[in-house]
C-alpha cells in the first residue's frame, strides 16, 4: 500500500522512468545490425568490461589479468538482475565488451541487435571445433557468425537417494514408465514420501524435459519462424507429469532452490531429483548431512534409445559496440577453453564446461566424495553426448517462459492441464513475436 | 482549526499568483531562486519521464527482413492502447486488485481509526509505547515485510503454521483462494500504523474546549468519539483512503515476493506486475501504455473519491 504524495509521485515516475531509462534515447531510425566488425589488434594497453553471474569468477579474471598486463579485464557481477542489467546497458549504448548470456536468451537478445559478429577474427571461427556441437550451433544461431563462445552446459541426469530406494526395494528406473511405477510404490509405502517435486514456476526445468523428448519448438524457414511449442512430443511429456500430479505422486508446492525445497529433502520427504550437472554442488553444499546417500544416474528415457536434455548453461557473448574484438576473442577463448581456467571455474562456480576438452579435466574424471566417490561427471559426459543438437530457442523465450509458468501453476492448482499450459505458451509465442514484428506462424 | 487551514492556503496561493503576474525585478528572481531546486528535479525526474512514457506508448515496433532482422520504432497511434484494453490479463489483474482494495482498505482504515481513537482517550496508559509499536511496521521496508510474512506463511518452515496445526487447524495461506488475502494481510500490517498516525495527529489538533463543552452537555466518551472526533478528522480519513486507493492500484512488492513461494501468484497478478513482465520481454511500448492506463485509472479513482466525499462532507 502507498503512503504519501512522494510515494504516488515515485510510483508514477518509477513506471515512467523505468520505461524511459530502459528505452534510452534511441532514435526511431533502424540501427545497424551486428556485422562488418573488424579484428585489428589495438596499439597499446586495452581494458575490457566483462559482466557475469558466476561465483568465484573474480579469481579467474584475476589470474588472466596477472598473465596479460596488456589486456586487462574488469568484471562486474550481475547476478541480481542479469538480463535487466544487460538490457538497460544496451538501450543506453553502454554495453560491456563481453557479457554472460544463457543459451535460451541468445535469440531474444539477438532480436534486440545486442551482439557483434566476431567472425572477422580467424581465432573466433577456428574455436568452433573446441566446443560441444549443439552449444556452438546455438551461439552461432546455426550460421557462420560468431556471436558468443559457449561457457557451460547443464546436461541432465537423475539424482537418486539410494538409501531410500534400497529401503523400499526399488530398482533404479531406466525409463519414465519405470520411474512412474517407482513413484507409485513409494507413495503406497509411505504417503509422506514423494519420488520428486514438479516446480510449476520453473519453465527452464520443464523445457529441459521437453528437449529430452526431441520437442523442437522453433524452426526458421521460408522467411518466418515456425512455432510448435505444443507439439505431440511436448504434450507427451506434459501428459506424463500431469498424471503424476493428478495422482499426487509428486509434490507441486516446492520452488526449485528454495529453503522449502531443501527442507523437504532434509526431512527425507523426497527420494529423487531430476536435475542438471550444475546441481551437483547445490546438493553437496546445502545438504551436507546427506553425504553418501546420493547417487547420480542417467535420466530415465522415453524409449529404449538413450536421450537426454539440457537445463541451463550459458555463453560469453560479444556485445554490440565492442571496439576490441581481437582482445575480446583472446580473453574469451582462454576463459572457456584453457584447462587452468576451466578447472578453476568448475571448482569455484560449479560450471560444467561446454568445451569438449572440459570432460578430460582431472577434476572431472575423479570420484566426488559427497557422491560416494562415484565418477558422477562420467554420467554428465554421457548425458551431454545424448542431447538433441537440433533444438533451438525462440526469439521471445522470456515472455513465453513466463506465460508457460503462469499456466503450469494453474494446472498444478487444479484448473487446466500442463498440456493446456503448452497451448497457452504457443499462443503467447505467436503473440509476442507479432508484437515485436517478427514473422511467425503456427506448426512445423 | 482544520476547517480553516485549507482556506488559508488557498488565500496565500492566490495572492502569490497575483504578485507573480505583476512580475519582474529582484522579487521574481528571488522566487525563481527558491523554486529552482524543486522545479529542476521535478521537470527532470517527473515531467520528462512521464512525457517520455506517454510518447513511448504511441510507438510500435517494426522490423526489416531476415531471421533476426533489425528493429525500429514508428508512430502507431492508439495501437498499444487497443492492445491493453483487449488484454484479458490486464482486466483480470484490475479485477483482482479491485477485490483486494474493496476489502483491504476499509478493514485497514477501520482498524487504524479505532487505534487512533483509543490512543486519544485518557483511559489508555503507556500511550507513546503503543504509538511506537503500532507505527513500527511502517519502518520495515515493504519487501522485507513481505519476505518476513512469506516465512510465516510457508507450510514447510513456518512456526505459525506448526502452531495452528497443533490445535487442529490446517491453514493454506498460499492456496489459490487464500493468497490474495495473505498479501492483503501484509499490506494491512505495514500500513495500519501509518494511517493511524495521520488520524491521531488530526485528533491531537482538536481543541480541548470542544470536549469540555461536550462533557458539560453530558456526552459520554463514546458519543464524543463518534459525534465529535470522527466528523472533525473526516478530512484525514479521506486523505488516508485516497492514499490507500493509490497504493492498491500500484500493488507490487507484496505479491511479487509471495510469488517466489506460491505458484498461485502469476507473473501478471497485479497491473504493475503485468507492466513489469511485459517490459522484461522487451515490449517497452506496450509496458508504457499499460503504465499510462494504470496512472489514468489511479487519477480518476482517487480524485473521483475526493470530489465525492468532500462534497458529502461539505468541505
pLDDT, tens digit, 9 for 90 and up, residues A295-318: 999 999 998 889 999 999 999 999
Residue with cell 531443501: A262
Tell me the per-residue pLDDT of A328-373, one tens digit each, with 9 for 90 and over.
999 999 999 999 999 999 888 889 999 998 878 888 888 999 999 9
| pLDDT, average across residues B80-92 | 95
Spatial distance between the Cα atoms of B74 and A424, rounded to a whole number of angstroms: 29
| pLDDT, average across residues B140-156 | 89
* Shortest alpha-carbon distance between residue A13 and chain B (Å): 6
Note the pLDDT of residue B125: 76
pLDDT at residue B70 greater than cutoff 90: no
Contact A436 B176 (CB under 8 A): no
pLDDT at residue B15 greater than cutoff 80: no
* All cell numbers assigned to B297: 485509472
Note the pLDDT of residue B297: 95
> What 8-state DSSP symbol labels residue A360?
G
Q: How many CB atoms lie within 10 A of CB A45?
A: 10
Note the pLDDT of residue B315: 53
Contact A16 B53 (CB under 8 A): yes
Contact B244 A223 (CB under 8 A): no
Spatial distance between the Cα atoms of A388 and B222, rounded to a whole number of angstroms: 76
What region, left, alpha or beta, does residue A268 occupy, with left being phi > 0 and alpha being psi -120 to 50 degrees? Answer: left
Tell me the per-residue pLDDT of B260-271, one tens digit each, with 9 for 90 and over.
888 889 999 999
DSSP readout, A305-342? S--B-EEEEEEEEEBTT-S-HHHHHHHHHHHHH-HHHH
* Shortest alpha-carbon distance between residue B129 and chain A (Å): 22
Residue B141 touches partner A, C-beta closer than 8 Å: no
Enumerate the residues of chain B whose CB falls inside 8 A of the CB of residue A29. Answer: 72
Note the pLDDT of residue A305: 87
Enumerate the residues of chain B whose CB falls inside 8 A of the CB of residue A200. Answer: 263
Best residue in A13, A15, A90 for a mutation probing chain B (most B CBs within 10 Å): A15
Note the pLDDT of residue B4: 38
CB A278 within 8 A of CB A358: no
Contact B49 A32 (CB under 8 A): no
Enumerate the residues of chain B whose CB falls inside 8 A of the CB of residue A87. Answer: 280, 282
> Where is pLDDT greater, at B78 or B261?
B78
Which of A89-93, A168-172, B173-177 has the highest mean predicted lDDT (pLDDT)? A168-172
Run of H or E including A160: strand A148-161
Helix (H, G, I), strand (E, B) or coil at B197: helix
Note the pLDDT of residue A110: 93
Spatial distance between the Cα atoms of A409 and A206, rounded to a whole number of angstroms: 12
Spatial distance between the Cα atoms of A327 and A218, rounded to a whole number of angstroms: 34
Of A17, A412, A436, the CB nearest to B61: A436
Helix (H, G, I), strand (E, B) or coil at B252: coil
- Under the banding of pLDDT at 50, 70 and 90, the label for residue B169 is confident
pLDDT at residue B11 greater than cutoff 50: no
Contact B294 A252 (CB under 8 A): no
- Under the banding of pLDDT at 50, 70 and 90, the label for residue B198 is very high
φ, ψ for residue B137, nearest 5 deg: -55, -30
CB pairs under 8 A between A and B: 187
pLDDT at residue A103 greater than cutoff 90: yes
Note the pLDDT of residue A24: 40
Contact B294 A7 (CB under 8 A): no
* Shortest alpha-carbon distance between residue A147 and chain B (Å): 13
Residue B148 touches partner A, C-beta closer than 8 Å: no
* All cell numbers assigned to A211: 528437449
Note the pLDDT of residue A320: 95
Contact A264 B156 (CB under 8 A): yes
pLDDT at residue A86 greater than cutoff 60: yes
Tell me the per-residue pLDDT of A26-48, one tens digit each, with 9 for 90 and over.
433 334 444 456 888 998 999 99
Question: What mean pLDDT is reported for chain B?
Answer: 87
Note the pLDDT of residue B130: 84
φ, ψ for residue A35, nearest 5 deg: -165, 175
Note the pLDDT of residue A31: 40
pLDDT at residue B104 greater than cutoff 90: yes
| pLDDT, average across residues A57-67 | 97
Note the pLDDT of residue A10: 40
Note the pLDDT of residue B71: 86
- Under the banding of pLDDT at 50, 70 and 90, the label for residue B9 is very low
CB A82 within 8 A of CB A371: no
**Lowest mean pLDDT across A27-31, A94-98, B113-117, B268-272:** A27-31
| pLDDT, average across residues B26-52 | 89
**Lowest mean pLDDT across A58-62, A250-254, B175-179, B237-241:** B175-179
Note the pLDDT of residue A219: 92
Residue B32 touches partner A, C-beta closer than 8 Å: no
Beta strand pairing call for B70-75 and B59-64: antiparallel
Enumerate the residues of chain A whose CB falls inside 8 A of the CB of residue B53. Answer: 15-16, 19-20
CB A404 within 8 A of CB A424: yes
φ, ψ for residue B207, nearest 5 deg: -65, 140
Contact A1 B176 (CB under 8 A): no
Note the pLDDT of residue B16: 41
Question: What mean pLDDT is reported for chain A?
Answer: 90
pLDDT at residue B13 greater than cutoff 60: no
B residues 72..131 contacting A (CB < 8 A): 72-74, 83, 104, 108
Residue A373's nearest CA partner among A434, A311, A284 is A284
- Cα radius of gyration rounded to whole Å, chain B: 25
Best residue in A17, A19, A268 for a mutation probing chain B (most B CBs within 10 Å): A19
HSE value, Cβ hemisphere, 13 Å, CA-based, for A22: 25
Residue B267 touches partner A, C-beta closer than 8 Å: yes
Enumerate the residues of chain B whose CB falls inside 8 A of the CB of residue A413. Answer: 175-176, 263-264
- Under the banding of pLDDT at 50, 70 and 90, the label for residue A125 is very high
Note the pLDDT of residue B253: 92
> What 8-state DSSP symbol labels residue A129?
G
Note the pLDDT of residue A142: 86
Best residue in A6, A16, A408, A434 for a mutation probing chain B (most B CBs within 10 Å): A16
- Under the banding of pLDDT at 50, 70 and 90, the label for residue A8 is very low
- Under the banding of pLDDT at 50, 70 and 90, the label for residue B313 is low
Enumerate the residues of chain A whose CB falls inside 8 A of the CB of residue B71. Answer: 30-31, 111-113, 436-437
Buried b (16+ CB within 10 A) or exposed e, B281-300: bbbbbbbbbbbbbbbeebee
- Under the banding of pLDDT at 50, 70 and 90, the label for residue A204 is very high
List of residues 6+ apart from A255 with CB closer than 8 A: A199, A201, A202, A261, B260, B261, B263
Amino acid at each position: 500500500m502507498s503512503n504519501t504524495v512522494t510515494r504516488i509521485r515515485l510510483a508514477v515516475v518509477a513506471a515512467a522512468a523505468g520505461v524511459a531509462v530502459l528505452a534510452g534515447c534511441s532514435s526511431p531510425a533502424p540501427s545497424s545490425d551486428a556485422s562488418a566488425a573488424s579484428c585489428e589488434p589495438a596499439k597499446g594497453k586495452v581494458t575490457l568490461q566483462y559482466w557475469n553471474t558466476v561465483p568465484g569468477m573474480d579469481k579467474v579474471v584475476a589470474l588472466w589479468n596477472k598473465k596479460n598486463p596488456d589486456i586487462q579485464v574488469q568484471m562486474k557481477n550481475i547476478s541480481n538482475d542479469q538480463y535487466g542489467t544487460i538490457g538497460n546497458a544496451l538501450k543506453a549504448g553502454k554495453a560491456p565488451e563481453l557479457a554472460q548470456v544463457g543459451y535460451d536468451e541468445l535469440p531474444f537478445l539477438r532480436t534486440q541487435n545486442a551482439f557483434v559478429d566476431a567472425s572477422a577474427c580467424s581465432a573466433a571461427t577456428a574455436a568452433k571445433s573446441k566446443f560441444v556441437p549443439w552449444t556452438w550451433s546455438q551461439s552461432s544461431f546455426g550460421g557462420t557468425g560468431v556471436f558468443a563462445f559457449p561457457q557451460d552446459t547443464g546436461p541432465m541426469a537423475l539424482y537418486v537417494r539410494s538409501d531410500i530406494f534400497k529401503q523400499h526395494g526399488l530398482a533404479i528406473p531406466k525409463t519414465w514408465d519405470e520411474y512412474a511405477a517407482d513413484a507409485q510404490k513409494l507413495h503406497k509405502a509411505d504417503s509422506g514420501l514423494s519420488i520428486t517435486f514438479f516446480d510449476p514456476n520453473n519453465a527452464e526445468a520443464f523445457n529441459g524435459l521437453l528437449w529430452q523428448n526431441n520437442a523442437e519448438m522453433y524452426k526458421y524457414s521460408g522467411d518466418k519462424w515456425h512455432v510448435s511449442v505444443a507439439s505431440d512430443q511436448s504434450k507427451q511429456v506434459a501428459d506424463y507429469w500431469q498424471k503424476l500430479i493428478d495422482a499426487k505422486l509428486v509434490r507441486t508446492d516446492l520452488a526449485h532452490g528454495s529453503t522449502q525445497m531443501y527442507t523437504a529433502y532434509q526431512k527425507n520427504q523426497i527420494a529423487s531429483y531430476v536435475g542438471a550437472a550444475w546441481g551437483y554442488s547445490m546438493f553437496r553444499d546445502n545438504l551436507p548431512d546427506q553425504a553418501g546417500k546420493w547417487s547420480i544416474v542417467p535420466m530415465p528415457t522415453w524409449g529404449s534409445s538413450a536421450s537426454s536434455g539440457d537445463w541451463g548453461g550459458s555463453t560469453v557473448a560479444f556485445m554490440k559496440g565492442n571496439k576490441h574484438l581481437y582482445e575480446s576473442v583472446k580473453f574469451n577463448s582462454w576463459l572457456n577453453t584453457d584447462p587452468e581456467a576451466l578447472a578453476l571455474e568448475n571448482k569455484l562456480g560449479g560450471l560444467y564446461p561446454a568445451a569438449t576438452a572440459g570432460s578430460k579435466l582431472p577434476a572431472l574424471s575423479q570420484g566426488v566424495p559427497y557422491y560416494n566417490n562415484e565418477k558422477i561427471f562420467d554420467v554428465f559426459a554421457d548425458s551431454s553426448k545424448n542431447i538433441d543438437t537440433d533444438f533451438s530457442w525462440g526469439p521471445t523465450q522470456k515472455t513465453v517462459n513466463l506465460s508457460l509458468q503462469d499456466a503450469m501453476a494453474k494446472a498444478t492448482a487444479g484448473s487446466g492441464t500442463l498440456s493446456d499450459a503448452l497451448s497457452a505458451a504457443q499462443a503467447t509465442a505467436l503473440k509476442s513475436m507479432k508484437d515485436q514484428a517478427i514473422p511467425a506462424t503456427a506448426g512445423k | 482549526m482544520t476547517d480553516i487551514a485549507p482556506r488559508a492556503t488557498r488565500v496565500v496561493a492566490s495572492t502569490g499568483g497575483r504578485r507573480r503576474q505583476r512580475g519582474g525585478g529582484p522579487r521574481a528572481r528571488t522566487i525563481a531562486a527558491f523554486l529552482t531546486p524543486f522545479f529542476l528535479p521535478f521537470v527532470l525526474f517527473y515531467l520528462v519521464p512521464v512525457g517520455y512514457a506517454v510518447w513511448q506508448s504511441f510507438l510500435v515496433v517494426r522490423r526489416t527482413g531476415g531471421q533476426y532482422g533489425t528493429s525500429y520504432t514508428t508512430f502507431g497511434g492508439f495501437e498499444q492502447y487497443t492492445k491493453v484494453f483487449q488484454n484479458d490479463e490486464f482486466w483480470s489483474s484490475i479485477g483482482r486488485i479491485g477485490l483486494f482494495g474493496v476489502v483491504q482498505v476499509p478493514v485497514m482504515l477501520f482498524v487504524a481509526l479505532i487505534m487512533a481513537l483509543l490512543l486519544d482517550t485518557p483511559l489508555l496508559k503507556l500511550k507513546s509505547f503503543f504509538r511506537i509499536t503500532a507505527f513500527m511496521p511502517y519502518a520495515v521496508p515493504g519487501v522485507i515485510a513481505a519476505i518476513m510474512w512469506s516465512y510465516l506463511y510457508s507450510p514447510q518452515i513456518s512456526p505459525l503454521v506448526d502452531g495452528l496445526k497443533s490445535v487442529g487447524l490446517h491453514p493454506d495461506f498460499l492456496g489459490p483462494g487464500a493468497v490474495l488475502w495473505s498479501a492483503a494481510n501484509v499490506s494491512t500490517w505495514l500500513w495500519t500504523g501509518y494511517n493511524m498516525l495521520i488520524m491521531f495527529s488530526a485528533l491531537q489538533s482538536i481543541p480541548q474546549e470542544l470536549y469540555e463543552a461536550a462533557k458539560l452537555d453530558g456526552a459520554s466518551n463514546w458519543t464524543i468519539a463518534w459525534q465529535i472526533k470522527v466528523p472533525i478528522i473526516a478530512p484525514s480519513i479521506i486523505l488516508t483512503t485516497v492514499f490507500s486507493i493509490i497504493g492498491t492500484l500500484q500493488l507490487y512488492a507484496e505479491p511479487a515476493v509471495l510469488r517466489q513461494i506460491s505458484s498461485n501468484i502469476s507473473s501478471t497478478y497485479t497491473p504493475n506486475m503485468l507492466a513489469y513482465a511485459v517490459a522484461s520481454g522487451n515490449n517497452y511500448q506496450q509496458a508504457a501504455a499499460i503504465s499510462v492506463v494504470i496512472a489514468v485509472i489511479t487519477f480518476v479513482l482517487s480524485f473521483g473519491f475526493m470530489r465525492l466525499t468532500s462534497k458529502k462532507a461539505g468541505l
